[in-house]
Amino acid sequence: MTSAAKNHFALIHLSDPHLPVDLKWKWAFLLNKRIVGFVNWKKRREIHRNDALNRVIRDALATPHDQIVVTGDLTNLGTDEELIAARNWLKRLGHTRRVSVIPGNHDAYVSGACEAFCNTLHDWIPQNHLLKPSDPNAIWPSLRLCGDFALIGLSSAVPCPPFFATGRIGNEQLKRFANLLDKLKQKAIARIVLLHHPPIKTPAHHARRLIDTQDFLDVLRHKGAEAVLSGHEHRIDCLYLKGPGYTLPLVLAGSASDSRQDHKPRGGYTLVHFTRENNRLRIDVTPRYLRNGTLVKRDARSFRLPWPADPKEHDDASPVRPPRP
């Protein structure tokens, strides 16, 4: 691993491993949405494979980095057995001080599942010491401070009806999020946001959208951040979001266990490297995805933002956009 140098920060972004465990049928599944999820898991179990996941993790751990983040959907049905497997898998990634997780919609598959996720994996959910929420049980946003860089974890994981995979952050969490962005900006700390459902205004599937996308984008536009890292879509990509007068990256990591190797980059991870250059922050986003049994590098995209993000300093801040492959 690299040292957590003041001007450099390397981040491994994993998402949606849907850990390939051998789920056993339970009659209790008939009582809730898990009956639908179990049928879907039986159909898709050949897609999310341990051999693909192991290749991705070996490659990621061999890449110099300071932190690893997993942006949700560690499980398939959010069962207790899956959470135990998730806990054991997270231990493989490194010390709890260097690994952070947030939940996805599959981790909140039924009522109570997200609470179980937080209880079982609490070692990988850093506490937020900068805020004192009115609700003492409020976990989100989580916060991990790494020198001049901060990892802010949001939860969009809520139970949904069958055939829906929508997410919602909620007004109270958004208020805490906006407050935290202000506090970190005052300390000149770069703000890296983790959010399972990508804040896309026109998602490919309406039933998989982030319901309060516009509310999140409004906070981002007024308060600013330096990067947003998401999953959920099972595709590797880098999109663009608007901050207060500048553009920042929305990084999609794909699924870490997706074994499909067709024309679309699906299974893999993304290396996000932050470098402070005087009064600018350079962000290099480098996807690595499975192709012919090994991981290959996709063309990197680079951004240059103000440091700290300030609307008064953004005049020449713009993304550097190389041609897409």
Q: Assess whether pLDDT exceeds 70 at residue 28.
A: no
Q: With 80 as the cut, is the pLDDT of residue 272 above it?
A: yes
pLDDT for the residue 48? 85
- Cβ contact 227:251 at 8 Å: yes
Average pLDDT, the chain: 87
- What is residue 53's predicted lDDT score, i.e. its pLDDT? 95
Q: Place 184 in a pLDDT band, splitting at 50, 70 and 90.
A: very high
Q: Which is higher by pLDDT, 197 or 165?
A: 197
> Is pLDDT of 26 > 70?
no
- Position 325 in a domain: no
Do the domain assignments include residue 165? yes
In a domain? residue 295: yes
In this prediction, residue 20 carries a pLDDT of 83
Q: 282 by DSSP, 3-state: which? A: strand
Q: What is the mean pLDDT of residues 156-174?
A: 92
**Which range marks the domain in which residue 95 is found?**
8-320
When pLDDT is averaged across residues 67-94 and rounded to a whole number, the result is 95
**Structure confidence at residue 165 (pLDDT):** 87
Q: Whose CA is closest to 221, among 239, 243, 201, 199?
A: 243
Q: Is residue 266 included in any domain, yes or no? A: yes
Structure confidence at residue 41 as a pLDDT band (50, 70, 90) = low
Check which CATH number belongs to the domain holding 35 and give it: 3.60.21.10
Residue 156 is assigned to a structural domain of this protein: yes
pLDDT at 5: 53
| Percent helix / strand / coil, the chain, rounded to 5 | 30, 25, 45
pLDDT of 132 reads 66
Counted domains in the chain: 1
The stretch 287-292 carries a mean pLDDT of 91
209 in any annotated domain: yes
Q: Say what the pTM is.
A: 0.90
21 inside domain: yes
Would the pLDDT of 164 be above 50? yes
φ, ψ of residue 240 in degrees (nearest 5): -130, 135
207 falls within a domain: yes
At 147, the pLDDT band (50, 70, 90 cuts) reads very high
